[in-house]
Chain A
């Protein structure tokens, strides 16, 4: 990849190393099958809908006459002539073998409701179709990307796309997406200047084995399917400006140690390109035509991935790692100077910071070790000096760490505000809840008059933020009384913050005021994520009074609850933990 950034060419890796061809084939086939399946399903549902609307009009029309002459079916193979009577009495199946007798009008209503359900089904099916189609729409970007990378731009009027053994809907979709014409390969003469430039050994090879004599003439006679005796090569082949791009859909790739060039590919699509180096092609093709080949093969394998929705929503740093996990090969970012989007720049910075952080941490560890050793060993003056130096360095590192942490905090605060905006309606709901719970717990409070009530009075006298503390206090009690309820809340952190305050109040009254003040602040800012500021804010005033065991217990439960939601905040966690240890 770095090599590419420098020279504009890729690194060479063998295809077999990256992924097995059969797997790609299978995955692609699966996507195709799924698409066909969904199309069938859609047809089925559409038929239901049309049946339903016909039935509605029929049911509306029937009561217009007292009776209708009809043929009454008697089993499947026989019927009687008869007539419909009681034309305004209709039995409708409600499901599970239950029938209801309805009038025509009521039946129409039922049927309309059924129709709505069917419509929603159509909507969801269409959404799925869209997703699948989006996968196929990568054809377009494949072509354009290849153009960017190879320095060739596709001239759509000069370009053609070839299909070989692809399903018809893929053909249609590809043609509708691309502005290319559908190309046809001329037949059986290899040395004719073909539309695709010069066909050569490479063509020969992936169309069949070279020594397969009887198949030789027949490869190219077929314009849609390149059949050879053993296999049908399916795939979509792009041709523009002297290069042929192949997007093999289930193409049988050679098992020989063919070399491929990886070309950087934008990360927004989990695809990558493999371009055959012209040199190798030339080497290969010498035996056949002796001409310099300009044949590109673009392998894209988005079919290998399952593109899930949350996957799409994640930001691109995670996506990188994700794709790294799913793909047995590297997905490249575009070179930074090419597309320095703001988010990417940020990410770069973050990664740099992370690196620095890791470095500092490792250095700290070293220092710690040294310290330990120094303590264990005999304390000579030299070593003391060493320790002093170490300490100095240590302090410096710590300050740097703090800086980094602060930066992170700021970044996160911004994020948190955004989140908070999103969650604000949810929040208001929560505050409502809090109030209601507060009332309950106030009663409770009055029943159990003790120190707490005294503190309450004290607070009501001197605290300017009385209502807030009230809420806090009550909430704390409520939470204590109904722990299950608390667990069920998605946003557990605010509760957590509050929860920690009442015992505090009970114990040390004068401090309550000071301690409470940060609490509402943090509550207003802390979102559902258990991000660091919340953590720290809590620490800030729990450290003095509240027992750590209690607290950490809550934290651990919450971390487990929220960690799945906020993987992004994880890198920040070690910081605070470390700090806790150090203090």
Chain B
């Protein structure tokens, strides 16, 4: 009986360490990536809106050549902007088109983030569940969850 329980315990722990925790780490990393994308697009939106507001038609900027070495660059026409739509494709948009695309893209990214958040929560719940199982196997007393805020 005891040996059986030992084995079961070990299997549970292995499940947590080898399956659930790596999954959790992976999910969090994925979500972080999406967060980053969201940020780049919101930045882009802000920049385009800024251009619109100031009605900038030509732009002079500094280009990073690498290793923080910059050179001046001239953009003769800012009306047409190439936006990354994924998979290495870039589409030439006008400002309004670009803003439209960005808003759609942001919506999608927000959905993705929500999905990942849910996934993370469920993995955490599973970890908790397995821990509970281990606790029951060890016949330890249940931890009393704190009721309400503690002052």
The answer on a CB contact under 8 Å between B74 and A82 is yes
Contact of B44 among A71, A77, A85, A99 (CB under 8 A): A77
Q: Answer whether residue A54 sits at the interface, using C-beta atoms and an 8 A cutoff.
A: yes
Instruction: Take A70-B63, A75-B47, A81-B82 as given contacts and tell me if A93 and B69 are in contact as well, using a CB distance cutoff of 8 Å.
Output: yes
- Chain B residues whose CB sits within 8 angstroms of the CB of A99 once the complex forms: 70
Residues of A within 8 A of B65 (CB): 55, 58-59, 90
A72 to B98, CA, bound (A): 17
B82 touches A92 (CB 8 A): no
A77 touches B84 (CB 8 A): yes
Contact across chains for A83 and B69 when beta carbons are under 8 A apart: no
- Per-residue CB contact flags for chain A residues 66-81 toward chain B (1 = under 8 Å, else 0) read 0100111111111111
| Complex CA–CA separation, A86 to B77 (angstroms) | 18
Is A86 a contact partner of B81 (Cβ separation < 8 A)?
A: no
Min CB distance B121 to A, Å, is 29
C-alpha spacing A54/B40, complex, angstroms: 28
Q: Using a Cβ–Cβ cut-off of 8 Å, how many residues does chain A contribute to the interface with B?
A: 35
Chain A 367-383 interface residues, beta-carbon cutoff 8 Å to B: none
* Per-residue interface assignment for chain A, residues 89 to 126, with 1 indicating a CB less than 8 Å from any chain B CB and 0 otherwise: 11111000001000000010001001000000000000
Contacts of A114 in B (CB 8 A): 67
A85 and B73 in contact, given A75-B40, A78-B81 (Cβ under 8 angstroms): yes
Chain A proximity of B61: nearest CB distance (Å):
6
Q: Does A364 contact B (CB under 8 A)?
A: no
Closest residue to B51 on the A side, CB-wise? A74
The residue of chain B having its C-beta at the shortest distance from the C-beta of A93 within the complex is B68
- Contact across chains for A89 and B71 when beta carbons are under 8 A apart: yes
Q: Of residues 347 to 381 in A, which have CB atoms within 8 Å of B's CB atoms?
A: none
Check B82–A90 contact: CB distance below 8 A. no
Q: C-beta contact mask, B24-68 vs A, less than 8 Å → 1, else 0?
A: 000000000000010011011001000000000001111101111
State which residues 24-66 of A face B: CB under 8 Å. Answer: 51-52, 54-55, 58-59, 62
On whether the beta carbons of A91 and B84 are closer than 8 Å, the reply is no
Complex Cα–Cα for A51 and B86 (A): 27
For the complex, what is the distance from the CA of A51 to the CA of B67, rounded to whole Å? 8
Q: Is the contact region of chain A dominated by helix, strand, or loop, or is it mixed?
A: mixed
Instruction: Give Cα A573 to B150, complex, Å.
Output: 66
Beyond A51-B67, A58-B65, A59-B65, whether A75 also contacts B44 by CB under 8 A is: yes
Closest chain A residue, CB of each to CB of B40:
A76
A89 contacts B73, CB within 8 Å?
no
- Measured in the bound complex, the distance between the Cα atoms of B62 and A87 in whole Å is 12
Is residue B8 contacting chain A, with contact meaning CB distance below 8 A? no
Q: Check B84 against A55 for contact (C-beta < 8 Å).
A: no
B41 contacts which of A52, A59, A77, A84 (Cβ < 8 Å)?
A: A77
Q: Which of A58, A84, A92, A93 touches B72 (beta carbons < 8 Å)?
A: A84
- A-B residue pair count with CB separations less than 8 angstroms: 102
How many angstroms between the C-alpha atoms of A75 and B40 in the bound complex?
7
- Answer whether residue B75 sits at the interface, using C-beta atoms and an 8 A cutoff: yes
* Residue contact A70 to B73, C-beta cutoff 8 Å: yes
Residues of chain A within 8 A of B37, CB atoms compared: 77
Q: Which of B11-35 contact A (CB under 8 A)?
A: none
* A230, closest chain B residue (CB): B10
One of A76, A78, A83 near B82 (C-beta < 8 A):
A78
Judging by beta carbons under 8 Å apart, are B71 and A84 in contact? yes
Is the Cβ of B83 less than 8 Å from the Cβ of A78? yes
- Cβ of B90 within 8 Å of any chain A Cβ, yes or no, is yes
Q: Could you tell me if B44 and A107 are in contact, using CB atoms closer than 8 angstroms?
A: no
B44–A74 contact, CB under 8 A? yes
Contact yes or no, A54 B68, CB < 8 A: no
The CB with the most chain B CB atoms within 10 A, among A73, A78, A87, is that of A78
- Which A residues are in CB contact (< 8 Å) with B43? 75-76
- Choose among B40, B61, B71, B82 the residue with the greatest number of A CB atoms under 10 Å from its CB: B71
**Within 8 Å of chain A (Cβ to Cβ): is B76?**
yes
Least CB distance from B71 to A in Å reads 6
Rounded to whole angstroms, the CA-CA distance of A291 and B68 in the bound complex is 70
Q: How far is the CA of A61 from the CA of B67 in the complex (A)?
A: 17
Q: Could you tell me the distance in whole angstroms from the C-beta of B110 to the nearest C-beta in chain A?
A: 16
- Cβ–Cβ contact A78 & B98, under 8 A: yes
Which chain A residues border B68 with CB–CB below 8 Å? Answer: 92-93
Please indicate the chain B residues that have their CB under 8 angstroms from the CB of A62 in the complex: 71
- B67 engages A52 (CB within 8 Å): yes
Given contacts A78-B82, A78-B84, A80-B59, contact A91 B69 (CB under 8 A): yes
Q: Is A92's CB under 8 angstroms from B71's CB?
A: no
Q: Which of A51, A59, A83 contacts B74 (CB 8 A)?
A: A83
Write the chain A residue with the least CB distance to B47: A75
Question: Chain B's nearest CB lies how many Å from the CB of A350?
Answer: 55
B78 at the A interface (CB under 8 A): yes
Q: What is the CA–CA distance of A76 and B44 in the complex, to the nearest angstrom? A: 8
Contact with B along A156-172 (1 / 0, CB 8 A): 00000000000000000
* A78 and B75 contact, CB distance less than 8 A: no
Contact A90 B81 (CB under 8 A): no
In the complex, the answer to whether B73 meets A82 with C-beta atoms within 8 Å is yes
Query: Do A85 and B74 contact each other (CB < 8 Å), given the known contacts A55-B66, A73-B63, A92-B68?
Result: yes
Q: Are B69 and A79 in contact (CB under 8 A)?
A: no
Q: Is the CB of A74 within 8 A of B81?
A: yes
Report the separation of the CA atoms of residues A89 and B60 in the bound assembly, to the nearest whole angstrom.
Answer: 14
Q: Which residues of A contact B71 (CB under 8 A)?
A: 62, 84, 86-87, 89-91
Tell me how far the C-beta of B35 lies from the nearest C-beta in chain A, rounded to whole angstroms: 13
- Complex CA–CA separation, A133 to B41 (angstroms): 47
**Which residues of A have CB within 8 Å of B66?**
51, 54-55, 58
Whole-angstrom CA separation of A107 from B76 in the bound complex:
27
A166 to B72 alpha-carbon distance, docked (Å): 52
A103 CB to closest chain B CB, in angstroms?
Answer: 12
B90 / chain A contacts, CB cutoff of 8 Å: 78-79
Bound-state CA distance A14–B66 (Å) is 60
* B40 interface neighbour in A55, A77, A107, A111, Cβ under 8 Å: A77
CA distance A93 to B65 in the complex (A): 12
Expressed in whole angstroms, the Cα–Cα distance for A85 and B67 within the complex equals 19
Question: In the complex, what residue of chain B is closest to A76 when comparing beta carbons?
Answer: B40
Which B residues are within 8 Å of any A CB, using their own CB? 37, 40-41, 43-44, 47, 59-63, 65-78, 80-84, 90, 98
A80-B59, A83-B73, A90-B71 given. 9 additional CB < 8 A pairs? A59-B65, A75-B40, A77-B40, A77-B41, A77-B83, A80-B81, A84-B72, A89-B72, A99-B70
11 residue pairs of the A-B complex, CB under 8 angstroms, read: A52-B67, A55-B67, A74-B44, A80-B77, A82-B74, A82-B76, A84-B63, A84-B73, A84-B74, A87-B71, A90-B65
The 6 closest A-B pairs by CB, nearest first: A93-B68, A82-B75, A91-B70, A76-B40, A77-B84, A80-B75
